[in-house]
Chains A and B, each alone.
Chain A
Amino acid sequence: MSLLLLLSLLSAFFVFYSKNSVFSILSLIVLFICLSVLLVFIELEFLPLIMIMIYVGAVTILFLFVVMMLNIKKIFLKIKSNSNSIKFGSIAVIYLFFNYYVAISYLNTNCDLFFNGINLNWLNVEIIDNELLKLHALLAVENLFSNKEHLIFYAMQIAHENIFSYINDLKVIGFWFYTNFFPFLLVAGFVLLQSILGAIVLTMPYHRKLSNMKAPLSSSFLRSSRKNIVLLKAKQ
């Protein structure tokens, strides 16, 4: 476990440290795989596999493609030791880590607050703890079948004992996507559609004028020029 953490930290360091950009992308891949294994360790099933499939299998392949095609062997970065970017970056990193630390410690101490509060900010909970997401999905399923309040607490107890046998990870995600978060799903779909259209428009060739032009024009031009050449040869 600690070895895995060390490897992920090392690969994250090598992403920006290595001068060969191909190496940095390869270490990014190693980092992704390490992170997905870490996600497996905290009892997530679906997310790490999807992460490997999408990020490692599709997105990073494109990065690797571009870098290899451009044939950038070495990138020489000029980093001054007293430049402002490093200062600001380190401050931002420390601030973020502080935030995470506070959030996690808050979660560990005040768990009951999350369990009792039904009117939660859903997005925050989803990001912080997947177990809670599962629990709330369970609650929602119970609510669908019967509106009795006492069943909810019973479900909470069951959820803590054996959450995996009770409800599937994937079904929970699907359930939430198509009930409470369907506007976000729609927006994501529209963003994807727009990006696809953008890519198609970018790669569309400027053939509108050429297609209006008649094809025999070029061939007749060629023929006439050939005739000229022949005539010239005859004169000589």
Chain B
Amino acid sequence: MLSPFFISIKSLVILVPLLASIAYFTLAERKVLATLQRRMGPNVVGIWGTLQPLSDGLKLFTKEHIIPSNANKEIFIVSPLITFYLSLLGWAVIPFDEGVVFADLNLGVIYLLAISSLGVYGIIMAGWSSNSKYAFLGAIRSAAQMVSYEVSFGFIISTVIICSDSFNLTEIVNAQKYLWYVVPLFPSFVSFLISALAETNRHPFDLPEAEAELVSGYNVEYASMGFALFSLGEYSNILLMSAIATHFFLGGWISVFPLYLFPLKYISPGFFLFSLKLCLFVVFFILARGLLPRYRYDQLMDLGWKCLLPFSIFWLLFVTSSLFQLKIIF
């Protein structure tokens, strides 16, 4: 049995860099979007705007916390906390290098699925408790979207699991030693990216926050820290999805080049490669926001239920039967 002190140190080692990376993710998003639109982006606070996220956080922290008069007070306060907490909880099973992981669960993938299915609650509770039509509509849209894309998400993940014959994330990465799964499972990679965009309520599927119709979706009524926690949770979820995608399809910490060619081999290139690949997905998320227009709601549902779900079921059957035919699985 580990001591609580050791466990708390261990979790802080993950959480503090994670929160810092979330803060700088917002800055990166603003900078990349600005570059796409030929603007400068934030460049006043600090050198090239590097202290912008800190000042934003400070601003949100010092603002007044407003609770609407007819809101359900307890749920209203609890729901951003739940969102934030659940988004942090998923990081417990993500390995950063071989053996560098908080909890190396045997069923790590199922744990991740369970945590991501719980993530709907924070949003739907926030929408209901703030006693506003816009927030409620946004919450309902978001919940329907997340639940419907979770189904195809599970099917897509199960192709990877069948190929690697394990639910453990470390073993999944080690199974890609010779070939990353992005090559043989390219269709599931593409559909994973689409459903990851929908799962995290990002553009072009950001209907819960459709500014034109719903002001800002489920978090209209939130000010100061509640709003900050929601956005922190959202960005943490995006980073988590990128990490999962890295482990499933881009081979986690496994390098393309042999180890002796890599110049940073003495300071553990595993971390470095993992974060480099994660950054690729982060940039993809930001570019998708900058480049694609928003889907209509029925188009979104059509894409989820009529395109992605049948395709992912077909692909799962195809992969399984081909592996069976090649006598790789019995």
Chain A contacts to B: CB under 8 angstroms: 22, 26, 29, 45-46, 49-50, 52-53, 56-58, 61, 64-65, 68-69, 168-170
Contacts and interface: CB of A to CB of B under 8 A. Distances in A.
Contacts of B110: 46, 49-50, 53
B218 interface: no
Contacts of B117: 52-53, 56-58
Interface residues of B, number: 21
23 contacts: A22-B75, A22-B128, A26-B75, A29-B121, A45-B105, A45-B106, A45-B107, A46-B107, A49-B107, A49-B110, A49-B114, A50-B114, A52-B114, A52-B117, A53-B114, A53-B117, A56-B114, A56-B117, A61-B120, A68-B136, A168-B106, A169-B106, A170-B167
Nearest to A36: B114
A52 B115 CA distance: 8
B124 A61 contact: yes
B107 A68 contact: no
Nearest to A69: B140
B106 A68 contact: no
Contacts, number: 54
Interface of B: 75, 105-107, 110-111, 113-114, 117-118, 120-121, 124-125, 128, 136, 140, 143, 147, 150, 167
A46 B75 CA distance: 30
Nearest to A29: B121
A119 to B, nearest CB: 29
- Residue in A57, A64, A65 whose Cβ sees the most chain B Cβ within 10 Å: A57
A58 B121 CA distance: 11
B118 A52 contact: yes
Contacts of B120: 57, 61
A1 B125 CA distance: 28
A170 B166 CA distance: 10
A8 B107 CA distance: 25
- Residue in A46, A52, A170 whose Cβ sees the most chain B Cβ within 10 Å: A52
A61 B110 CA distance: 19
The 10 nearest A-B residue pairs measured at CB: A57-B117, A52-B114, A53-B114, A49-B110, A49-B114, A68-B128, A53-B117, A45-B107, A53-B113, A49-B111
Contacts of A56: 114, 117-118
A57 B128 contact: no
Contacts of A64: 124
Contacts of B75: 22, 26
B124 A68 contact: yes
A49 B89 CA distance: 14
Contact of A26 (B105, B114, B125): B125
A69 B128 CA distance: 10
Contacts of B121: 29, 61
A168 B166 CA distance: 11
B147 A58 contact: yes
- Residue in A50, A53, A56 whose Cβ sees the most chain B Cβ within 10 Å: A53
A56 B120 CA distance: 10
Contacts of B105: 45
A169 B105 CA distance: 13
Given A45-B105, A53-B117, A57-B120, 14 more contacts: A22-B128, A45-B107, A49-B107, A49-B113, A49-B114, A50-B110, A53-B110, A53-B113, A57-B118, A57-B147, A57-B150, A61-B120, A61-B121, A68-B136
- Residue in B107, B111, B128 whose Cβ sees the most chain A Cβ within 10 Å: B107
B111 A65 contact: no
Contacts of A26: 75, 125
- Residue in A29, A65, A69, A169 whose Cβ sees the most chain B Cβ within 10 Å: A65
Nearest to A164: B106
Contacts of B128: 22, 68
A15 to B, nearest CB: 16
- Residue in A26, A46, A49 whose Cβ sees the most chain B Cβ within 10 Å: A49
A52 B86 CA distance: 13
A65 B140 contact: yes
Contact of B143 (A45, A46, A61, A168): A61
